[in-house]
Amino acid sequence: MRIYYFLDLKNVSILRKKKTTTANQLAAVGGGDDKCFEKEKNALLHFKSLLQDPSDHLSMWTSEQDNCCQWSGVTCNNQTGHVTELDLMSFGLVGEISHALVNLTYLNYLDLSENSFHGTIPRSIGSLTQLRYLRLSYNSLYGTIPRSIGSLTELKYLDLMSCGLVGEISHSLVNLTYLNHLNLYSNSFHGTIPTFIGSLTRLRYLDLGGNNLNGTIPRSIGSLTELIELDLSFNSLYGTIPPEFGNLTNLQYLYLSYVGMCRLENLEWLSPLSHLEVLEMDGISLAKTNHWVDVILSLPKLSRLSLSGCELSQVMYPYSSSFLNSSSSSSIEFLYLGNNSLTSSMYRWLFPLTSNKLCRLDLSGNMLDGIPKYLGNLCSLKYLYFFNTSAAVKFPDFLNNLSGCTSLSLQRLSASGSQFTGSLPDDIQKFTSLTHLSLSENQLKGTISKKLWELPNLKYLDLSENSLHGFPSSDYMSNRSHIESIRLSSCKLGPLFPKWIQNLKNLTSIDIANSSISDTIPLEFWDTWPSQLTFLNLSFNKISGKVPDLSSNFDNKSVIDLSSNRFDGPITNVSSTVALLNLSRNKFSGGISFLCKVFHGFLVILDLSHNFLSGQLPDCLWHFKELQVLNLEHNNLSGRLPASLGSMIKLEALDLYKNDFSEEFPLSVKNCTSLKSLNLGANKFSGNLPVWIGESLSGLYVLMLRSNNFSGSIPLQLCQLASLQILDLSVNHFHGRIPSCLSNLTIMVQQGFSQLQNLDPDDILIRYSYNVDHVMIQWQGTEREFIRSNMKLLRSIDLSSNNLTGEIPYQITNLDELIALNLSKNALLGKIPWKMGQMKNLLILDLSRNKFSGEIPSSMSQMTLLSYLDVSCNNLSGRIPSSTQLQTFGPSRYEGNLGLCGPSLTEQCHGNEESGIQLINGESEGDGEGVDELDVWFYIGGAIGFIVGFWIACGALLLNRRGRYAFFYLQRLGLCEGCGVHC
């Protein structure tokens, strides 16, 4: 949250005090007759008529209430009786902004912020020419800033933050010469920053951050000498930061983080900004800014400095020769220097930037092999961030260097994902103010000191993903109730269940996943924290027994993960407050009628897969309005899908794989327009595929219908699914031709990764959805699981085991990024398309058990990544093309083609008839001159082919960084097993 926002609220509160006084004085004023003006009253009533008011804030706004000056949010002038102010901030209103507001001609203050207004900003707003304050922020508007807003020439305050607006910044703003506050933050404005901004010389606050603005930063901004705050962060700008910024001598807050590709040659322009308190320039390269430390120390009021990702390690001379003798004292309280590849040599210039005023220090994402002792003498340091450092650090030494007065002030130590080694020593007892300790994903070993548990203020403890042991007894923990969150996944807690956790009576979060527990859970464990827990993760243990009623332990939007254990019996009640429930990979049995008792609708992710659940999916899903992932695969559920399934309008992934569901394709799915992954495979669904799949479910990236009883032809509307990257219709009864329009599946043509990963990694529910949302795919003849986090490169089409006829449409060869194509076990005929070889990213190609005839196209010799090929049981003839790749496959991949010959088969090619080495254009070479010469040319061609193929593949990987990354990414996923290219 920006600092100016607090300033705004302060100003707003003053205005509200004044308005309240004015409203009280108006008890008997309203057009001079204890009524407000009829025209203005009707305007307000019309404004209300277009709105939903679920919180009843506008309950007084009725025609029976004569004096509208007494209505909530309305203020009138105490002399004229005209409505002058309308403040409806945070009223929870939903609807459009009425044009009727134009009749409030004396309005000078309008605040509709923090509601759910939609539609556009009405052009008629330009008629409110007396407006001085206009705030529409935090709504769901769309469209552009209307030109008419330039008519509001008296306007001093304009806030359109987070409105959803688009287009360029309107030139009509040039008329607002009295403007002192302009906030356009977090919209979708594009184009350049207009130079006329520099003519609004009364501006004190200018916020254009969080948009898509491009071009250079106009030098005219340097004319805004009254500016107190300037924010251009999170845009796509380029060029240098104008040195004219040095004219902004009143500036207190400057936000330039991630402005784009901007750079700095020096920081001398900062020196005149003596009032500067906050400076954020994350992501701007400072590699050429010598002596930058001197400049920072010259800013006497600077309290917050953020230079993350600024290439500071490349600065040759961060300070001048006079720097070491400087007596300047830093005023910095918050210092962020993460992700700069810094080594411990930086501590020489860090020293003068630290003082006893420093409260928060971030050194994360660097290459530091420890910290200096002077950091242990910072008596005000409360927060130290040291995560994701890449050099090994002995944790006992790290603590020892902090053991000065910092040990008494430090409240939060966040050092996850670093290279800490050693144990958790007794020295931890010195840090008596510590409330948060996060050391997850390090290399800590050995026994945990008991002194850790004695820290009097410790509330949050995360030691997960280490090799620690030696946890305390129940008696020892009986007085440690101050701890609120404990995360010990992958630590050695078992084999018995750690009963000492039950003594931590104030716990709200428990994570003891993968901690070697092979036991049952005491019944009293479930009753320890009534209506209190927000997070419970017991997954990946061997916990057995039954799970009791879970309806009372959990707070709003909580997470329960009991997956991958040995729990059995029925699932009884579950709290209606749960947002994520994962009970997968256990031995639960019985029905799932408990869902009908989860009625508040907080549930976002539900995973009951890999159990022994039976019965029907109950028709009580109407209230699951927030559900995004529903995974019921590998159970014994049956019957038809209920109509209430269609009420889950936010559902993104539906997985019913390997159950016993039947009837026709569920019509209710048509309403789930947010679906991205639909897996109905291995059930008994039947009938034709409806054409609305391609029309209503346009966002699908996975469509899995394999192993059902679907019939009819493949609807052409599937070709409208531009994001589809996994299509599996195998093992059904489809007939007819393969649609040639499959070449319209855009994502299978475009290079690069798909958009599956554009999600917030800090959202715990999204992180879980990576693992819940997955598909099982036939891969090289076996079934393999792909979860969302490794699906982004996968592009696959499987139409095998159907009754498809006709030829392979040549357009399918345009799917350049396709990785797996399986058309086996159909009745396809004709020739293999000559351009098949241009599908150079194919790893898997299965055309077996069809009626293909003719030769194998010579272009297929270019498919250097092919790791699985099967063309067996067809009517192919001629020579297997010369290719080191095609000739690595065993005879079984070619057998059943009586006319086929080549080195991979026992049938060798002899004579002129069979020597026609195919060209890519489909023509044959001239007659050969005998077997001996043919053999010579065969071996020469093989050698040349190997060399050319080797360097085409390996050279591309060596020279093309993205290709190299993609290849080794596939290797890591196991997608390139036996790829045949070994660089």
Give Cβ neighbours of residue 336 (< 8 Å, ≥ 6 apart). 282, 305, 306, 307, 308, 360, 362
**Residue 317 structure tokens:** 């001379």
Which amino acid would we find at residue 21? T
- H-state helical runs in 611-727: 693-696
Give Cβ neighbours of residue 939 (< 8 Å, ≥ 6 apart). none
Closest CA to 697 of 727, 714, 726, 677: 677
CA separation for the pair 126, 119 (Å, rounded): 17
User: Over 825-889, what HEC string results?
Assistant: CCEEEEECCHHHHHCCCCCEEECCCCEEEECCCHHHHHCCCCCEEECCCCEEEEECCCCCCHHHC
CA separation for the pair 48, 646 (Å, rounded): 32
Q: What does the pLDDT read at residue 733?
A: 97
pLDDT tens sequence across 493-529: 989 999 899 989 899 999 999 999 999 999 889 888 8
Can the peptide bond before residue 456 be classed as cis, meaning omega within 30 degrees of 0?
no
Closest CA to 785 of 770, 800, 765: 770
Which amino acid would we find at residue 83? V
**167 has which bridge partners?**
189
Residue 522 DSSP SS3: coil
* Cβ atoms of 109 and 86 closer than 8 Å: yes
**Residue 746 structure tokens:** 């855009």
Which regions in the chain score pLDDT beneath 50? 1-32, 752-762, 770-772, 912-983
C-alpha torsion 244→249→253→255, nearest 10: 10
Token pair 């085409």 is at which residue? 952
CA separation for the pair 560, 538 (Å, rounded): 8
Closest CA to 611 of 645, 579, 634: 634
pLDDT tens sequence across 211-244: 999 999 999 999 999 999 999 999 999 999 999 9
Q: What does the pLDDT read at residue 776?
A: 67
Within 13 A of 952's CA, how many CA atoms are on the CB side?
Answer: 15
Measured CA distances, 439 to 284, 384, 856 (Å): 30, 12, 58
| C-alpha Rg value of the chain to the nearest Å | 34
Q: How many residues does the chain have?
A: 983
Residue 19 DSSP SS3: helix
User: Over 309-369, what HEC string results?
Assistant: CCCHHHCCCCCCHHHHHCCCCCCCCEEECCCCCCCHHHHHHHHHHCCCCCCEEECCCCCCC
Number of C-beta neighbours around residue 458 at 10 A: 23
DSSP secondary structure code for residue 708 in this structure: S
The sign one gets for the Cα dihedral 765, 766, 771, 776 is positive
Phi/psi region, residue 830 (left: phi>0; alpha: psi -120 to 50; beta: rest), is left
Phi/psi region, residue 119 (left: phi>0; alpha: psi -120 to 50; beta: rest), is left
E-assigned strands of 217-272? 229-231, 236-240, 253-255, 260-263
Residue 566 DSSP SS3: strand
CA separation for the pair 723, 60 (Å, rounded): 50
* Cβ atoms of 120 and 141 closer than 8 Å: yes
CA separation for the pair 158, 131 (Å, rounded): 10
Give Cβ neighbours of residue 309 (< 8 Å, ≥ 6 apart). 282, 283, 338, 339, 340
Closest CA to 520 of 498, 536, 503, 553: 498
Strands of the 419-424 sheet, one edge to the other = 392-394, 419-424, 443-448, 467-469
Number of C-beta neighbours around residue 226 at 10 A: 16
